[in-house]
Amino acid sequence: MSSSSDGPLTAATAHGGHDIPSWGGGSLPYAVPSKKLGMWLFIVSDAITFSAVIFAYGYLRLAAAAWPRPFGTPSIANATVMTFVLLSSSVAMVLAVRASSLGKVSGAVGWLVATALGGVVFDILHIREWLGLIGEGVRPFHNPWGTPMFGAAFFTMTGLHMLHVTIGVVYLLVIAVGFGRRKFSAADVEVSGLYWHFVDLVWMFIFPLVYLLSAKTA
Amino acid sequence: MAMEAQQHQHTAPTGFIRKYIFSLDHKVIGKQYYFLAIASVFLGMVLSWLVRIHLVWPNVHVWGLGALSPAGAPGGVISPEYYLSLLTIHGTLMVFFVLTTAPQAGFGNYALPIQIGAEDMAFPTLNMLSFWVTFLALCALVSTLFVEDGPPISGWTAYPPLSAVGSLAGPGQGMGQNLWAVSIALFCIGSLLGALNFITTTVDLRCKGMTLMRMPLTCWAWLITAILSLLSFAVLFAACVLLILDRNAGTSFFLPSGLLVNGQLQNHSGGSPLLWQHLFWFFGHPEVYIAIVPGFGVISHVLSVFSRKPVLGYKVIVTCLLAIGFLSFTVWGHHMFLSGMSPYSGFLFSIPTLIITIPATIVSLLWLGTVYGGKLRFTTCMMFALGFVSVFVTGGLGGMFLAQPSLDIFLHGTYFVVGHFHMVMGVAAIFGMFAGTYFWFPKMFGRMMNERLGKIHFWITFIGVYCIFMPMHFIGLEGMPRRYSSFVNDLMQPLMPVHKFMTIAALITGAAQFIFLFNLFWSMYKGPKAPENPWESTTLEWTVPSPPPFDNFGGKHPVVYHDAYEYGDVHNGKDYVMQTDPAGQPAKS
Amino acid sequence: MGKAFAVVLTIITTVSVAIFVSRHWWFPEVASAHGGAMDHQFLETFVGAAIGFILAQLGLAAFAWKYGERKGETRPIRIFPGGAKWLVVLALVYVGSEIILLEFVGQKVWAAMYFTPPAADSLQVQVLAGQFAFYFRYPGPDGKFGPIHTGKIDETKGNFFGIDPSDPGSKDDIVTVELAVPVNKPVELLLNSKDMGHGFYVPEMRIQQDIVPGMEIPLHFTPTKIGKYDIACNQLCGLGHYTMRAFLEVMSEEDYQKWIVEQASLQ
């Protein structure tokens, strides 16, 4: 922080000879667009919220005498498909950002919708998984296999993530419509992409921590 | 978010609602936060009066209280459990809705954009949203006073299982505690949005020539506080969500097995009360600095202005603030020395806790060095700044004791702790807010405050806080536990006169705050008109009319040529150089 | 105004220090083996803090007294000799030496209480805290505690501890409402809670420990003075928190033997 602050200082004094320091009034000293920086900061804080929940899960799982490992092959397969869908949607997101920056409006809108569609499929698969577990008797306060914290941790972590995916789907569709009507710029598409990749990245932590660590041992 | 860029180049709104209620103008939002804090601080103060009164005159009838809470205070006599409710709401209001809002969101919103030469915050709509979310949070908290069971009784730290098992645990632990948790979760969201906005604004919207190292120290303080908020409220938010789930969805994050509450065996199992303490204090310690660092900024700024000297060691202060910010994330365990966590971690946590006193000591000494050899102008604002240095040093030294786990064995949970944290983060931060108010009032409202009333307010407050909080250290040494609604312990009875003294001091000091309140509102309408730069200060907010126009600079783009604190060298009959003055020579500092 | 501030601040400083130094309000007299070292460490810290307190407050008072601006004055401002550098050095030396002194030399008390196991011949007593009372259990001749079953707690039948009489370890256990220990003999407490977080605080013994439900937290000390002391709950545990207390009675060895026999007969 303090070393980076020296940068603009010297830059400004270097230009101090004439009246215009290194940047013009009101534009961006660090050339980071505000919305992008704002989204990055949001991601930082949201990542910390997820970390706190994951920390809680780790803390309790380590303290527990035995943690259930109920996920058989169908569950793991389903979660793998979900992972694949989410990763594919991230690829679509990359293409949407690319198309938007090249000014291809219909292409960008198409890819954005495809990304959102990936999110919807992910949600549907996930809700099916939830319903399956609920059918087996898993509740936040009870499950057939052992410490009730299993259900609590599972529903809290995946639920929080699912909420993020769902919000993301809405967000992407709003951006898609807005970009189609030229109300939003390519920068807005890029910012929404940051959010989507972040949600995707969070899943890459949740998937191993929740599913793989609780896979049935042969 | 996309629309904000357009709204940013705004023309002033004309309707009352868009102008004063759902305003996007950072100056209006800053004032909204400020008045939210004023309302909270007076409510919190009245609650602390009730707490103090109950301690020494438990049978006194408080007028009107019986009607507010027939169960908690039948006939206006405060019951022991209602004492805990009052204490909880007092703490929560003060820590969250006063110490976190006014110094940062209030003054920061008002002054930061002007001081860095911006027209507004980076995200005006988000800014409005953060205020209204915070307002909702306050409503949720205050509403606990009116629900059937009354407010929660678990203190502002809300340790489970007391806070997590529901109404079995005591009155107020049902609906009241739920509302508390929702209120805090909302408050987290408001603070996160605000923090994000502050950082982006400071990084992106500085005007031409306003390099980071030319920013006033207030801006540095707000930036660092925003970073702390962004990183710590995210954790508290998670903790609140888990607490809400424990209370309402039957999960057991904070509840172990085998709890027998009120004769009923609980179904929970698998959780840990210590988990809450870790999450809470991971937020809770940075929170202390969120409350006090904006005060550091204001005091450094104000001491320089009224000493007519450049602030001593600008770069050192910036470095120290950054160090404090960083270290504040490594010390949360010192709240938990006796919590039952590993004694080795207790030992380890005490090291950064003592180390963090180094930058705090450096900053305090630099304030003394700034005052040394100056030409001090004893305005009310300056008096509060000097008072801040005094109470901060006093409170901070108490931390030397509490930072050592071996002394904490005795002092933990006693009035020594209460005296310490009230002095160092409560009173000091409030003094920072008073200094800020007396300093920026002319700019905010276009009129001057009454100096005579201000001085009376200062003297009673300054002497009063020492009379209230210094004796708390003394009785802490006797081992007097905090959060006791009365002292059945015979050994504690001899300390009753001290408690009476503190209560009377609190009543007088509190009453003096109404002088301030009167001064505030009276001056708003009747004070003499403020000139553009009444304090002969150098920063950008003093280059614009009081109050500033809607877009701060009247369509002009300010350009900065100087450091923020060029005082002392006389040019053209002036002993200061405005940051925007193209002609002035840089001072020799 | 600056002179008034200087005078008031000097008075506040003097009175505060005088009250501390008079020891009118001070620690209760120590009654445990490790307590003396803790008091000593407090004194060391106090001397360091008092020096800082007096110098800072009086310095502030002196500057406020001396440097007030008079009307029409043309004296130049003076920069602090040596600038910020010497103040930084001063802070580093002052706080640094305190840290080294207190942290690395002075943590013997913490180490003695928490890093060393209790003596082998310690008297073990189990403590069960609940809203709003403490109960104590002595292991009896077999030296063993049976498990606590919170579900079996029934105050109407006098089963305060949740003891199952069929547990082999529980048969000869002695449950009391008062903690009695012989003087000069090490004691190890095993702290448990059945509902809330509680605290176990005996100021004279210089011991304090939070009691956390779901954990059994050990705490050991050696009482050195015969007498009756208050045990206070010092962690907010609910509406009756302030009423939650018990007594610690330190007895001579003979009195203790008589007492424990008497208690055993009451079971």
| Residue C111 CB neighbour total at 10 angstroms | 13
- Give the number of beta-carbon pairs within 8 Å between A and B: 162
Q: Which of B2, B208, B230 sits opposite A25 (nearest CB)?
A: B208
User: What number of residues does chain A have?
Assistant: 218
User: B407 is written with which tokens?
Assistant: 């002394």
**Reported confidence tier of residue A18, pLDDT bands at 50, 70, 90:** very low
CB contact under 8 A, C91 and B409: no
**CA B283 to chain CA mean position, Å:** 14
Residue with tokens 């959102």: A116
Q: What is the CATH number of the domain that holds A114?
A: 1.20.120.80
Kind plus residue range of the DSSP H or E element containing C230: strand C227-232
Residues of B in contact with A149 (CB under 8 A): 251-253, 269-271
pLDDT at B346: 83
Q: Are residues A113 and A191 in the same domain?
A: yes
Lowest-pLDDT range of A163-177, B181-195, B290-304, C136-150: C136-150
B330-334, B383-387, B436-440: least confidently modelled range:
B330-334
Q: How far is A21 from chain B (nearest CA, A)?
A: 6
Q: Which residues on chain B are in Cβ contact (under 8 Å) with A59?
A: 272, 275, 278
Same domain, A114 and A184: yes
State how far the Cα of B408 lies from the Cα of B405, in Å rounded to an integer.
Answer: 5
> Which of A42, A59, A188 has the CB atom closest to B272's CB atom?
A59
Q: Do B251 and A8 touch (CB under 8 A)?
A: no
Q: Is C25 left (phi over 0), alpha (psi -120 to 50) or beta?
A: beta
A14 and A52, same structural domain?
no
- Sorted by sequence, the CB contacts under 8 Å of residue C203 that are 6+ apart come out as B410, B478, B479, C27, C28, C229, C230, C232
Chain B's closest residue to C231, CA to CA, is B489
| Of residues A1, A45, A148, nearest to B322 (C-beta) | A1
| C-alpha pair distances (Å), A186 with each of A99, A102, A108, A199, B2 | 9, 9, 9, 20, 11
- Count of structural domains, chain A: 2
Residue B543 pLDDT > 60: yes
Quick one: average pLDDT of B266-282? 93
CA of B463, closest CA in chain A: separation in Å? Answer: 39
Contact in structure between B55 and B485 (CB atoms under 8 Å): yes
B471-477 mean pLDDT: 94
Shortest Cα distance, chain B CAs vs residue C91, angstroms = 6
pLDDT tens digits, one per residue of C47-82: 999 999 999 999 999 999 999 998 878 888 898 888
How high is the pLDDT of residue B148?
85
**Could you tell me which of C241, C205, C216 has the C-alpha nearest to residue C29?**
C205
Which residues does chain A have within 8 Å of residue B319's beta carbon, measured at their own beta carbons? 2
- Count Cβ atoms below 10 Å from residue C208 Cβ, excluding itself: 25
Residues A25 and A65 in one domain: no
Alpha carbons B55 and B65: distance in angstroms, whole number? 16
Residue of chain B whose alpha carbon sits nearest to that of A59:
B275
* 3-state secondary structure labels for all residues of B299-357: HHHHHHHHHCCCCCCHHHHHHHHHHHHHHHHHCHHHHCCCCCCCHHHHHHHHHHHHHCH
Nearest to B355 by CA among B337, B373, B331: B331
Q: How confident is the model at residue A17 (pLDDT cuts 50, 70, 90)?
A: very low
Whether residue B8 is predicted with pLDDT greater than 80 in this model: the reply is no
CA distances from B134 to A71, A185, B176, B182, B316 (A): 42, 31, 18, 11, 34
pLDDT (tens digit per residue) in B231-243: 999 999 999 999 9
- Backbone phi and psi for residue B208, each to the nearest 5 degrees, phi listed first: -55, 125
Query: Who among A42, A59, A140 is closest to B275 (CB)?
Result: A59
Q: How far is CA B412 from CA B327, B337, C110, C195, C225, in A?
A: 22, 9, 14, 21, 23
Please indicate, yes or no, whether residues A16 and A83 belong to a single structural domain of this protein. Answer: no
Determine the residue of chain A that is closest to B267 in CA distance.
A141
Same domain (yes/no): A17, A64: no
Is B474 at the interface with chain C, CB within 8 A?
yes
Q: Which helix (H) or strand (E) holds C201?
A: strand C198-202
Range B163-173 burial, b when 16+ CB lie within 10 A, else e: bbbbebbbbbb
Average pLDDT over residues A10-25: 37
Query: How far, in Å, CA of A81 to CA of B516, rounded?
Result: 65
Q: Is the pLDDT reported for residue A84 higher than 60?
A: yes
Q: Which of B46, B47, B135 is nearest to B89 (CA)?
A: B47
Is the omega angle on the peptide bond into residue A144 within 30 degrees of 0, that is, cis?
no
pLDDT of residue B67: 87
- For residues A127 and A112, state if they share a domain: yes
What's the pLDDT score for residue A29? 65
Strand (E) or helix (H) holding B570: strand B567-571
Neighbours of chain A (3+ CB pairs under 8 A): B
Q: Does A63 share its domain with A116? A: yes
Q: Is the pLDDT of residue C159 over 90?
A: no
Residue B474: pLDDT above 90? yes
A115 and A8 share a domain?
no
Q: Which tokens sit at B79?
A: 């019951």
B312 with C87: Cβ contact below 8 A? yes
Radius of gyration of the CA atoms of chain B, in A:
24
Which ranges of chain A does DSSP label H, i.e. alpha helix? 2-14, 34-63, 73-101, 105-135, 149-180, 186-206
Q: Do A141 and B252 touch (CB under 8 A)?
A: yes
Of B169 and C188, the structure prediction assigns the larger pLDDT to C188
Residue C125 DSSP one-character state: E
The mean per-residue pLDDT over the stretch B248-255 comes to 93
Long-range pairs for B69-76: beta carbons < 8 A, 24 or more residues apart: B69/B145, B69/B150, B71/B148, B71/B149, B71/B150, B71/B171, B72/B150, B72/B171
Question: Is pLDDT at A12 greater than 70 in this prediction?
Answer: no
CA distance C21 to C17: 6
Q: Tell me the count of B-C CB pairs closer than 8 A.
A: 309
A-chain residues within 8 Å CB-CB of B268? 141, 148
Q: What is the DSSP string of B230-287?
A: HHHHHHHHHHHHHHHHHHHT---TT--TT-EETTEE----S--HHHHHHHHHHHHHHH
Dihedral of alpha carbons C116, C117, C119, C123, sign: positive
Residue B5 scores a pLDDT above 60: no
Do residue B397 and residue C2 have CB atoms under 8 angstroms apart? Answer: no
**Contact (CB<8Å) A183/B118:** no
Q: What is the DSSP string of C76-113?
A: PP-PPTTTHHHHHHHHHHHHHHHHIIIIIISTHHHIII
Angstrom distance (rounded) from CA A149 to CA B269: 7
Number of H helices, E strands in chain C: 5, 10
The pLDDT value recorded for residue C8 is 97
* A23 and A107 both lie in a single domain: no
pLDDT tens figures, C40-54: 999 989 999 999 999
Residue showing tokens 């020799």: B588
Q: Among B205-214, B284-293, B536-545, C109-118, which is the least confidently predicted range? A: C109-118
pLDDT at residue B10 in the model: 57
The candidate with the shortest Cα–Cα distance to B95, out of B397, B430, B336, B355, is: B430
Which pLDDT does position A3 carry in this prediction? 34
pLDDT range class, residue A218, cuts 50, 70, 90: low
Cα–Cα distance measured from residue B578 to residue B73, given in angstroms and rounded to the nearest whole number: 57
Sign of CA dihedral A182, A186, A191, A194: positive
Low-confidence winner among B244-253, B324-333, C77-86, C124-133 (lowest mean pLDDT): C77-86
Same domain, A121 and A13: no
Q: Residue A27 is part of which domain span? A: 1-31
User: Which stretches of B403-427 are DSSP H helices?
Assistant: 405-411, 415-421
d(CA B451, CA B215) in angstroms, rounded, equals 29
Specify the higher pLDDT residue, A13 or B104: B104
Q: CA neighbours within 13 Å on the CB side: how many for C154?
A: 5
Residues facing residue A99 across a β-bridge: none
**To probe the interface with A, which of B123, B214, B252 has the most A CB atoms within 10 Å?**
B252
Q: Which domains does chain B have, with CATH numbers?
A: 22-256+267-271 (1.20.210.10), 283-527 (1.20.210.10), 528-589 (no CATH)
Q: Which residues contact B473 (CB under 8 A, 6 or more apart)?
A: B398, B415, B416, B419, B420
Whether the CB of B478 is below 8 Å from some CB of chain C: the reply is yes
Interface of C with B in 135-154 (CB under 8 A): 150-151, 153
**CB contacts, 8 Å: B412 with chain C:** 208, 234
For residue C36, which of B400, B406, B481 has the smallest C-alpha distance?
B406
Q: Which pLDDT score, from 0 to 100, does residue B587 have?
A: 46
Contact B557 A28 (CB under 8 A): no
Three-class DSSP category at C36: helix
Q: Which residues share a beta bridge with C247? A: C230
For the stretch B392-407, pLDDT in tens is 999 999 999 999 999 9
Name which of A6, A41, A142 is nearest B196 (Cβ-Cβ).
Answer: A41
> Do A137 and A111 share a structural domain?
yes
C87: chain B residues, CB-CB within 8 Å = 312-313, 362, 365-366, 368-369
